């Protein structure tokens, strides 16, 4: 399908500035009042009232060519071709009315065989800088051998405007904010939100659609390798608050990427050219790699700075808890550039179980790996949201359900094929609570969690003697160096075993209620807990 409205986009040289340097973009952003420089050199920008993604405003063009391949429902809601045409026309007309626009042209995918060319057209210079840090810039070491740019995907970002009531009526759409994506036209239209993460995640969504048909398993995970040898890759899957960033940032390991990867027949490659890290409560002592990466050329989103000293206040959530920083991956000391590595021998699923009933570490069978991958479990804690008075399960398929255009079983089948082909071990690592639920028990010590990761990566844990959890059916090691043996079986850490049994059965039933919503082989369903 074509995008005729794009032909009307005015990209004349006098008003459209393409692939400016980071210094030029920073200068233009500051002079236009889009942001200010912090004391560490980072550009600090605000995103207005949208300080996170707007999933309820994200819609997918529904056409026959893709209809039967899509996981329609809460995540993927349809937009008609006429509505997409209308949204694109409104965004193009808006950008044509601006005195200047910025265009970035680069890549998604560190492996040239599978990369997609991404063009981003924005009104704001800082949005173009964001694209430059998150995607792979042409002519850099991260891009590899020089190659002509080929546009596969276009992002039209008209985030500063909002749909008027008249425009909404014309579109047959009832909201001022719209993120419209077309998988056949390979185009994204952003209207009404300045949150830059919408650009990043729209291309991840595109990769999640395109890569399976190219034989690549797309993954919402971080990846690192042994710093000394560049080998022994490890993948860390996990939702927010489970420790994905903390555990992948290891002084003895080199970072391949922090968030999005593909696993091909050649190995693992980063989809991105940069990192997009949370920086609430950030400290130099706690996360020195991220701290040191925040400098000129990086972008701080919604971070409070002192008006006099311009020093960032990372502890402040006055604007949002979701304060963010984006920077090129090569701002991390020792990062792997280009961001590619071999096949992982270990895949680690991270969960933070606030019920205190799941084991801290367990080795998964192939069927269990598919089951826990499809369910993607962690916990919401009491007090984190209005009305949440006790821990609640949070299930996100494949540890990134909101970014999946295809049914979760598609990606679970790819996972199963990869681990079988490469003899990969899959682990479930619980970074949550022990000795009781949240409020009674305590969170697993980080030193214990790091000991588990060390034993996984050096191969010793795969050779351990195991016991089976009677409720979850998980295989738990009887001993791990540096960790007290009584911590390994959750029931042993509770003062009241009967209370543990009640909580374990409760969580098991929640797993079972959740897995009913998915199509999966009975062998995989049978690998779940006993409700």
pLDDT-derived band at 448 (thresholds 50, 70, 90) equals very high
Say whether 351 is catalytic: no
Catalytic position from the list 137, 200, 201, 418: 201
Averaged pLDDT score across all residues of the chain: 94
d(CA 86, CA 180): 10
Catalytic position from the list 28, 53, 261, 406: 53
Q: Is residue 241 over pLDDT 80?
A: no
Q: pLDDT for 44-94, tens place per residue?
A: 999 999 999 999 999 999 999 999 999 999 999 999 999 999 999 999 999
Catalytic position from the list 245, 351, 396, 424: 245
Q: pLDDT for 85-123, tens place per residue?
A: 999 999 999 999 999 999 999 999 999 999 999 999 999
pLDDT-derived band at 387 (thresholds 50, 70, 90) equals low
**pTM > 0.85: yes or no:** yes
Catalytic position from the list 220, 253, 406, 418: 220
Domains identified in the chain and CATH numbers: 20-36+57-213 (3.40.449.10), 346-525 (3.90.228.20)
d(CA 248, CA 263): 17
Task: Pick 531 or 238 by higher pLDDT.
Answer: 238
pLDDT-derived band at 41 (thresholds 50, 70, 90) equals very high
Mean of the pLDDT values across residues 166-172? 97
Say whether 240 is catalytic: yes
Say whether 8 is catalytic: no
Catalytic position from the list 59, 186, 324, 475: 324
Q: Is residue 240 over pLDDT 80?
A: no
Q: What is the pLDDT of residue 384?
A: 44
444-448 LR contacts (CB < 8 Å, sep 24+)? 444/360, 444/487, 446/246, 447/482, 448/360, 448/482, 448/483, 448/487
Q: What is the pLDDT of residue 437?
A: 92
Say whether 250 is catalytic: no
Kindly give the residue spans of alpha helices, DSSP state H, lying in 335-407.
366-375
Q: What is the pLDDT of residue 243?
A: 83
Kindly give the residue spans of alpha helices, DSSP state H, lying in 142-243.
165-171, 197-213
Distances (CA, A) of 508 to 16, 46, 311, 351, 528: 56, 42, 47, 15, 8
Say whether 7 is catalytic: no
Q: Which of 236-240, 378-382, 450-454 has the highest mean pLDDT?
A: 450-454
């Amino acid at each position: 399908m074509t995008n005729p409205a794009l032909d009307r986009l005015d990209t004349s040289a006098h008003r459209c500035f393409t692939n400016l340097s980071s210094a030029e973009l920073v200068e233009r952003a500051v002079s236009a009042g889009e942001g200010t420089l912090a004391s560490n050199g980072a550009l600090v920008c605000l995103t207005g009232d949208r300080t996170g993604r707007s999933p309820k405003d994200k819609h997918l063009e529904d056409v026959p060519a893709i209809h039967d391949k899509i996981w329609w429902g809460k995540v993927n809601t349809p937009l008609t071709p006429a509505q997409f045409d209308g949204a694109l026309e409104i965004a193009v007309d808006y950008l044509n009315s601006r005195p200047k626009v910025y265009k970035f042209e680069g890549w998604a995918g560190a492996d040239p065989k599978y990369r997609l060319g991404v063009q981003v057209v924005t009104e704001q210079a800082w949005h173009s800088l964001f694209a430059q840090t998150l995607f792979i810039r042409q002519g850099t070491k991260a891009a590899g051998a020089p190659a002509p740019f080929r546009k596969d995907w276009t992002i039209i970002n008209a985030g500063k405007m909002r749909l008027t009531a008249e425009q909404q009526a014309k579109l047959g759409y009832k909201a001022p904010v719209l993120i419209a994506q077309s998988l056949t036209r390979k185009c994204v239209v952003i209207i009404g939100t300045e949150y830059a993460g919408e650009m990043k995640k729209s291309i991840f969504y595109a990769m999640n659609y395109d890569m399976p048909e190219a034989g690549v398993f797309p993954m919402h995970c971080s990846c690192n390798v042994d710093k000394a040898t560049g080998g022994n890759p490890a993948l860390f899957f996990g939702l927010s608050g489970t420790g994905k960033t903390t555990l992948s940032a290891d002084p003895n390991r080199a970072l391949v990427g922090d968030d999005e990867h593909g696993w091909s027949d050649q190995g693992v490659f980063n989809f991105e050219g940069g990192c997009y890290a949370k920086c609430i409560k950030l400290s130099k002592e706690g996360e020195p790699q991220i701290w040191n990466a925040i400098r000129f050329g990086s972008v701080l989103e919604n971070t409070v700075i002192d008006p006099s000293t311009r020093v960032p206040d990372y502890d402040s959530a006055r604007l949002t808890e979701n304060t963010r920083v984006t920077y090129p991956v090569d701002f991390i000391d020792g990062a792997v550039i280009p961001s590619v590595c071999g096949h992982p021998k270990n895949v680690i699923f991270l969960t933070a179980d606030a019920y205190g009933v799941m084991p801290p570490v367990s080795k998964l069978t192939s069927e269990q790996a598919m089951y826990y991958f499809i369910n993607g479990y962690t916990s919401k804690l009491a007090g984190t949201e209005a009305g949440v008075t006790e821990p609640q399960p949070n299930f996100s398929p494949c540890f990134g359900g909101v970014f999946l255009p295809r049914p979760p079983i598609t990606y679970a089948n790819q996972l199963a094929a990869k681990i079988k082909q490469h003899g990969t071990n899959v682990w479930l690592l619980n970074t949550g609570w022990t000795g009781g639920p949240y409020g009674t028990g305590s969170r697993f010590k980080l030193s214990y969690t790091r000991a588990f990761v060390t034993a996984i990566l050096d191969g010793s844990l795969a050779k351990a003697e195991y016991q089976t959890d009677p409720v979850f059916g998980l295989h738990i090691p009887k001993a791990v160096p540096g960790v007290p043996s009584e911590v390994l079986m959750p029931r042993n850490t509770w003062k009241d075993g009967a209370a543990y049994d009640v909580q374990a059965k409760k969580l098991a039933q929640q797993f079972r209620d959740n897995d009913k919503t998915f199509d999966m082989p009975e062998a995989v369903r049978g690998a779940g807990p006993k409700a």
